[in-house]
A and B are shown apart, each in its own frame.
Chain A
Amino acid sequence: MSQVISLHRREEELIKEIAELSEQNFYACYQCGKCTSACPLTFAMDEPPHQILRFLQLGQAKRLIESRSPWACIGCLSCATYCPKGVDLARIMEALRTVHLRRLDAPFCYTQDDGERLSTLPQSALVAALRKVTW
């Protein structure tokens, strides 16, 4: 029982952290799904964008933290452009990435062997990627 309570508290704290980092009111979302239909990267996500918002509303932090969707989001702001309630989902995705990165968890890292490939890529992509997905 005590374990359940402590887990619950941690989840609550995480939801609060995401709210503070993103400065978004995710309770404004009424699940119309426009963000998901506008998102060009849903194919690379395990949870569609509107589902991320639903998890936040329901306080299901564990599923949020386990989802790899924030890493698929690149902040093109299609969702925010089409949202009828003015929720900037890209900020929420970045807040989720930030939560991971500040706990030294990142899905992408390179080694010396990748240098050859990386040197052929645009610098803007390197700068952006290393800022957004490495700690």
Chain B
Amino acid sequence: MSEEKKTFGYYPGCELRNRVKGLDLSARRACRALGIRLKELKDWTCCGGLVPQVKDNYMGFLAPARILVEAHAQGFDELMTLCTFCFNTLRRAAFFLQGHAEARKRLELFLGVEGLPRVKVIHLLEVLRDHVGLDRLRESVQRPLKGLRVAPYYGCLLLRPAQEIKLDNPEAPTLIEVILEALGCEVTDFSSKTDCCGSYHIVTNGQVAGQCSDLILRSAVKSKADMLVAMCPLCQFNLDWRQKQTRTAPLPVVYFPQLLALALGEPVDTLGVAEPAATALSALGSPT
């Protein structure tokens, strides 16, 4: 593996600027440890949250299209994301716009640009798999997460729709498992790992979201995991919210980049890990 520094455009998303700074922080630290430079998109705007799923809602594609145009103008042909919502929205929008001449024409007219650029939207997981590679990742581990039993939770938007996202098998994914194992974790298998956490029902009807999250938590607890690994700020929120509501024995929820940075030798108190996961991870000790 070559050690040259690769630079990726980076789109954090608004959640990472407010409530979940730890996700942004840990990912930046992990990437630096792996020799990956992240250059943040300047003056970025909201990704749009979700893409429209009806034929004629072109306005719904404006937000992601604008980011793709900006990314290209700022010299990025690959844009890395962390938040599952941003990833799904931007990746699906890029896919949709490439295949739909009519939508492209309308958006180009509205945005006043000539030709919507082809920008590849990627996830941190893909950077690790395709750019770093599992072998180099294994070599870079400073503090193997030995003895930590984790339940990897994908959620829905990270994998689906599979024909557009093309990240992993939408029914039986293994990508996070493989990476976590490279970090030294013990990974548990649980049936709800691609189920939906209840998503934006937390806004419209919290009880519905809670019931969805409940199934995931039960399934993860049953797999005897010490903690659950989340990719998406909304999944993490819903799962934690449910646990606070029911006051059950908590299953700590930690973000994937936090475990990654920890394994790469970054001190746990610099990664913005929330309780009770922070205490559990502090017990792992110093890098070897």
Residues of A within 8 A of B (CB): 20-23, 40-41, 43-44, 71-72, 74-78, 80-82, 88, 90-91, 94-95, 98, 107-108, 118, 121-133
Contacts and interface: CB of A to CB of B under 8 A. Distances in A.
Contact of A20 (B18, B19, B55, B208): B55
Given A76-B156, A80-B160, A108 B46 contact: no
A99 B133 CA distance: 47
Contact of B237 (A108, A121, A129): A121
A128 B204 contact: no
A122 B127 CA distance: 26
B162 interface: yes
Interface in B217-246: 232-234, 237
Interface in B78-136: 83, 85-86
B171 A81 contact: yes
B15 interface: yes
B161 A124 contact: no
Interface in B135-190: 156-157, 160-162, 170-171
A72 B53 CA distance: 16
Contacts of B234: 122, 124-125
Contact of B202 (A21, A72, A82, A122): A122
Contacts of A124: 13-15, 49, 83, 85-86, 200, 232-234
Given A80-B160, A81-B171, A95 B204 contact: no
A82 to B, nearest CB: 8
Given A22-B54, A75-B53, A128 B199 contact: yes
B60 interface: yes
Contact of B204 (A80, A82, A88, A108): A108
Contacts of B57: 98
A34 B128 CA distance: 34
A62 to B, nearest CB: 21
B50 interface: yes
Contacts, number: 125
15 contacts: A21-B56, A22-B55, A72-B201, A78-B195, A80-B160, A81-B160, A88-B53, A95-B53, A121-B203, A122-B234, A124-B200, A125-B200, A127-B14, A128-B50, A129-B203
A101 B234 CA distance: 25
Contacts of A127: 14, 46, 48-50, 85
B211 to A, nearest CB: 6
B85 A78 contact: no
Given A76-B157, A94-B52, A121-B237, A128 B85 contact: yes
B54 A98 contact: yes
Contact of B170 (A74, A81, A122, A126): A81
Given A72-B201, A122-B234, A126-B200, 8 more contacts: A75-B50, A75-B53, A82-B171, A121-B237, A124-B13, A127-B85, A128-B199, A128-B200
A interface secondary structure, majority: helix
B232 to A, nearest CB: 8
A108 B160 CA distance: 26
B254 to A, nearest CB: 17
B62 to A, nearest CB: 12
B215 interface: yes
B248 interface: no
A123 B18 contact: yes
B196 A133 contact: no
A131 B54 contact: no
A116 to B, nearest CB: 13
A78 B192 CA distance: 12
